[in-house]
Structure 1
Amino acid sequence: MKLLIVIPALGAVYGGTSKCVVELAQALGNLGITVDLVATNANGSEVIEAPVKTWLAKTNYRLQFFPYKGIGDYKFSFSLSKWLFQHIGDYDLVQTNAIFSVPNLAAYWACQWYNIPYVIIPHGMLDPWALSYKALKKRIYYTLLEKPALQNASALQMLASTEAEQIKPLNLKTPITIAPNGIHRQDFEKLPNPEPFYQQFPATRNKTLIIFLGRIDPKKGLDLLATAFGKIHSKFSDTHLIIAGPDNIGFLPTAKDYFANAGCLDAVTFTGMLTGSLKYAALAAASIYVAPSYSEGFSMSVLEGMASGLPCVITTGCNFPEAAAANVAHVVDIDAEAIANALTQCLQFPQQAKEMGTRARQLIFEQYTWDSIAKKLIQVYTAIIHNQPI
C-alpha cells in the first residue's frame, strides 16, 4: 500500500494536530506500508527551517515541504497544488488532515480527477463549537467547497465516538471510521527527573502543580480554568498552575487578564510551548492535569497526561467519554464550577487521585498506543482500496 498524507502545515506552533499526524505516519510506516507526507512549511509567523520541494527521509516515512503564501487565515501553495495533481496517481490512498484549508482543496480535486480514494480527518473542526467560531466565513466555505469534498470522500476518520455523533446534523452520507490519537508507550514508561523544569521555572518548586498543556486559544477554556483555579487556590494556597503552550494568535494578554480578574495570576506560570525532555520533566513535576476545553477532536495532551499517571480533570468537550466510563478521569461539564469541584476532589483526596491516575496510565498503555491504532487503520484502508465496506 502506498499512502499519501496531506496536512496544511506541520509547524510545532500548531500543537497536537501536527504531532499526531507525524506520529501516525511513523506508526503506519513501521508496519511496512509506504508513507509519504506533504505539507507547507508554515510555522505561525515564521517558516520551518528545512529544504522545500525535496524529499526528507524520516523514520519509516518521507516528508516534503512546500513554500506558501499566507493571506489572512488561509495558506496558498501553488507548488504543493501542482505537485498533488502531478503525483496523486502514484498512491493507492490519500489521507487529508484538517478542513477549511486551501491546500487540502487541491488534494480533494486531484483525487476526484484521478479516481484515487481519499479519507478526511477533520480533527474536531466539524463539531458545533468549532463551526460557531467565525461562523459566517466557515458557512460560506463549507457550502461551496468543504461539503462537496466531504461527500465525495471514501470515509471520514473521526477521532472519537462523540465527534462522530456531533456531525450527524450535517447529514453527510460518507462512511465513518473511528481511530483515536495515541502515544508511544516507551515515552512514558519512565518519566525523567523534574529538576530541569524546576531550574527553568523556579516559581514552581515546592508547589502542588496543576498542568495545562495546549495552545493559548479561545477554544481551550482558559476563561473557565481561571475562574476554577481562582476558587481552589484560595483554599489550597500551595497550588500553582502551569500553562504550557504556544500563543499563535496573540491571545496571551486576554488569557492573563482572565487569571488577573480571578485574583490568581501570581500563582500561574506561562511557560510557552514545552517539547522533548522539558515537557516530560514538567509532567513529572505535576500533580494534576487539567483540560478545560470547549472543543477538541481528541486531545493528544490528555493522552499524555493520563500516560504520565496523573489524575486528570477534563471537560466533555475533550471527546473522551470512555475515560469516564472506565473511571480513569474526572470528566465534567464545560463549566468553571464543575472544573473547580473536580480539582478540589483531587486535592482533598490525593491517594484516590493517585489511584485514578494509575488506572488511566494502564488504559492508555493497553488501548491508545500508535502501534495498535495503526494496525486497525491498515485494515480499514485496505478495505477502502478494494472497495469493501468499512
Structure 2
Amino acid sequence: MNILFFTNEYAHPNLPAAGGVGSFFKIMATQLVKEGHSIKIYGFSKKKHHFFDGQIEVEFFKQYNKKFPLAELGRSLSSKLNNQKLEYYWLKKERKYLAKKLKQFALKHHIDIIQSFTFNGFTAYWDNSIPLVTRYHGSRGFWNHFLGHTGNELKIQLEKKALQQTSYTVANSHFSKSFIKKYYDVEVKKVIHNGINTEVFKPIKQQEKIPQSIFYFGTLSDAKGVDRLAKIFNKVHEKFSEASLHIIGKNENYFNNLKTEVINKNGKSSVNYYGHISLLDLPKHIAKAALVIVPSKGETFGFTIVEAMALEKVTIVSNIPVAKEIITHQEDGFIANTDEDFINHISEVFQNPEAFSQMENKAREKVIKNFSQELMVNNSFKYYEEILAEKK
C-alpha cells in the first residue's frame, strides 16, 4: 500500500523538535515500512527539507507564511484590526494552497490513502479525490473549552470544516469522540487509542525507589495542574516530613516561580527539578518513583498516565473525562476528585507501599492489552484496508 502522512512535524533530528503528532507519524511510518508498505512523509515547515529516514521519504515544502510573506502580513494586519472576514479569507487561501500541494504530490506518487490531523484545520479544503483519514490528537477547540484558552475562533471554524470534509476521522479516545460530537457537531465512527512503546516503558526492577517520592513528568503549566500539584505537596509534606517532589519537563521559568511563590518554606529543599529528559531516558528516572501524579485539567488521551502505568507505578490522576477510559479506580490506579483525595491516596501508598504491588502489575497488564504501539498501528492499518475496500 502507498501511504502518505501529511503533517507539519515529524520526529527526526534533521527537523525542528516534534510533539505528539510528529512522534505518532514516526511510529506509524517506521512500523508500516517494516511490513513492506511504501511510506511518504509530506508537509510544510519553515524551511524546505528532502531526505530519507531509512526507507521513509520525507519532503517538506516552505510553509505558506514564509513563501508568501505579503499574504501573511495581510492576515496579521486583518487580525490586529479585528477584521475577521478578511482574516478568514487569508486563512482559507492558505488551506486551499495546502490542498493543492497535497493533491499534486499524492497524484504524482500514486498514493492510495492519506492520513493527517485535525489541529488548525489544515485539510479543510481537501477534495477527497484520494481517501483522507484525519486523526484527532487535540485541537484549538479543546484548548479553549477545557484549558481556558481564548481566541482562535476562525481556526476552530476551520477545524470543524476539516472534520466535516472527510468521513474518515479517527478519535484517539472515546472521550475525544464524544467531545467532537458535542463541540463540533461531527459524528466520528472510529476510535483508535494512542499507543506507547511498552519495551521502552517497562519496569526496571533493579532500580530502587526513593521512599515517599512523588513524581510528575510532562509540560509544566497551570493547564497541566502543576500549580495544584505544588499545593498538594505542601500538605503532604506537613504529614510526611521525608516526602519529596520530583518534576520533569520543559519550562524552567514556570518551575522557578512555583518554587518561589507556591511551595512552602519547609518543603523547598525537598523539591527537585530535572528539566527536559528524552523519552528513552525517562523510564530510568520514573523507575525511582514511589508514585506518579497526573493532575491535569484536561487531556484528549493522556500519554503520561499510560507511560507511568506501563512502568508499574501507582498512578493518581485527576478526575478528567478520559481518566475512567484508562484507569479502573482502586484496581490499576486511582482517580482523584479533590485535593483531599490526592492526599489520601498518596498517604495510603506512603504508609504501606508493599500493598500496591498487585495494582502496579495490573496497570502494566492493562497497557499491554489496550494501549500498545503495535495495537495502534495494526488497528490504523486495518482501517485503511476497510476504507479502500469500501472505495472499490
TM-score when normalising by structure 1: 0.79
Report how far residue 24 of structure 1 moved. Answer: 3.0
Alpha-carbon displacement from aligned partner over 1:71-129 (angstroms, at most 9, x marks no partner): 89xx98999777424213332222223512xxx62x443x31x6222222232336755
Alpha-carbon displacement from aligned partner over 1:123-143 (angstroms, at most 9, x marks no partner): 233675543556552323222
C-alpha distance in 1, partners of 2:262/2:130?
50
Task: Kindly indicate whether residue 59 of structure 2 is the aligned counterpart of residue 64 of structure 1.
Answer: yes
Report the residue type matching 2:53 in the other structure.
Answer: A
Task: Kindly indicate whether residue 214 of structure 2 is the aligned counterpart of residue 210 of structure 1.
Answer: yes
SS of corresponding position for 1:146? helix
Question: Greater relative contact order (Cα 8 A, min sep 6): structure 1 or 2?
Answer: 1
Task: Kindly indicate whether residue 371 of structure 2 is the aligned counterpart of residue 368 of structure 1.
Answer: yes
Deviating more after overlay: 33-42 vs 323-332: 33-42
Report how far residue 160 of structure 1 moved. Answer: 1.2
Alpha-carbon displacement from aligned partner over 1:364-389 (angstroms, at most 9, x marks no partner): 1222221122112212122223337x
Alpha-carbon displacement from aligned partner over 1:332-351 (angstroms, at most 9, x marks no partner): 23x43332222222222312
Go from structure 1 to structure 2 and tell me whether the alpha carbon gap of 1:127 and 1:108 turns closer, same or farther (over 3 Å shift). closer
Instruction: Judge conservation of contact 1:67–1:77 (CA < 8 Å) in 2.
Output: no
SS of corresponding position for 1:241? strand
CA-atom RMSD in angstroms? 3.5
Go from structure 1 to structure 2 and tell me whether the alpha carbon gap of 1:383 and 1:135 turns closer, same or farther (over 3 Å shift). same
User: Counterpart of 1:239?
Assistant: 243
Report how far residue 174 of structure 1 moved. Answer: 4.0
SS of corresponding position for 1:91? coil
Instruction: Judge conservation of contact 1:316–1:331 (CA < 8 Å) in 2.
Output: yes
Task: Kindly indicate whether residue 193 of structure 2 is the aligned counterpart of residue 175 of structure 1.
Answer: no
Report how far residue 182 of structure 1 moved. Answer: 1.2
Between Structure 1 and Structure 2, whose CA radius of gyration is higher?
2
Instruction: Judge conservation of contact 2:259–2:268 (CA < 8 Å) in 1.
Output: yes
Structure 2 unaligned regions, length at least 5: 67-71, 77-90
Report the residue type matching 1:137 in the other structure.
Answer: G
Go from structure 1 to structure 2 and tell me whether the alpha carbon gap of 1:188 and 1:173 turns closer, same or farther (over 3 Å shift). closer
Instruction: Judge conservation of contact 2:332–2:359 (CA < 8 Å) in 1.
Output: yes
Structure 1 unaligned regions, length at least 5: 43-50, 196-204
Report how far residue 242 of structure 1 moved. Answer: 1.7
Go from structure 1 to structure 2 and tell me whether the alpha carbon gap of 1:237 and 1:134 turns closer, same or farther (over 3 Å shift). closer
Task: Kindly indicate whether residue 199 of structure 2 is the aligned counterpart of residue 186 of structure 1.
Answer: yes
Task: Kindly indicate whether residue 87 of structure 2 is the aligned counterpart of residue 87 of structure 1.
Answer: no
Structure 1 residue ranges (4+ consecutive) displaced by more than 6 angstroms after TM superposition: 75-82
Alpha-carbon displacement from aligned partner over 1:209-229 (angstroms, at most 9, x marks no partner): 322111123321112111111
Go from structure 1 to structure 2 and tell me whether the alpha carbon gap of 1:137 and 1:321 turns closer, same or farther (over 3 Å shift). same
Q: How does 1:1-390 map to 2 (within 5 A)?
A: 1-10=1-10, 15-40=19-44, 52-58=48-54, 61-68=56-63, 83-89=101-107, 90-100=110-120, 105=122, 107-109=123-125, 111-112=126-127, 115-125=129-139, 130-131=144-145, 133=147, 135-143=149-157, 145-170=158-183, 172-189=185-202, 191=204, 207-247=211-251, 251-257=254-260, 259-260=262-263, 264-317=267-320, 319-325=322-328, 327-333=331-337, 335-387=338-390
Report the residue type matching 1:115 in the other structure.
Answer: S
Instruction: Judge conservation of contact 2:144–2:150 (CA < 8 Å) in 1.
Output: no
Go from structure 1 to structure 2 and tell me whether the alpha carbon gap of 1:243 and 1:15 turns closer, same or farther (over 3 Å shift). farther
Go from structure 1 to structure 2 and tell me whether the alpha carbon gap of 1:228 and 1:272 turns closer, same or farther (over 3 Å shift). same
Instruction: Judge conservation of contact 2:234–2:267 (CA < 8 Å) in 1.
Output: yes
Percent identical among aligned pairs is: 21
Report how far residue 65 of structure 1 moved. Answer: 4.2
C-alpha distance in 1, partners of 2:325/2:265?
32
Go from structure 1 to structure 2 and tell me whether the alpha carbon gap of 1:153 and 1:379 turns closer, same or farther (over 3 Å shift). same
SS of corresponding position for 1:28? helix
C-alpha distance in 2, partners of 1:136/1:188?
35
SS of corresponding position for 1:352? helix
Go from structure 1 to structure 2 and tell me whether the alpha carbon gap of 1:30 and 1:316 turns closer, same or farther (over 3 Å shift). farther
Go from structure 1 to structure 2 and tell me whether the alpha carbon gap of 1:305 and 1:362 turns closer, same or farther (over 3 Å shift). same
Report how far residue 320 of structure 1 moved. Answer: 3.4
Alpha-carbon displacement from aligned partner over 1:310-340 (angstroms, at most 9, x marks no partner): 111112337131333372111223x433322
Report how far residue 241 of structure 1 moved. Answer: 1.7
C-alpha distance in 2, partners of 1:229/1:343?
10
Deviating more after overlay: 254-263 vs 230-239: 254-263
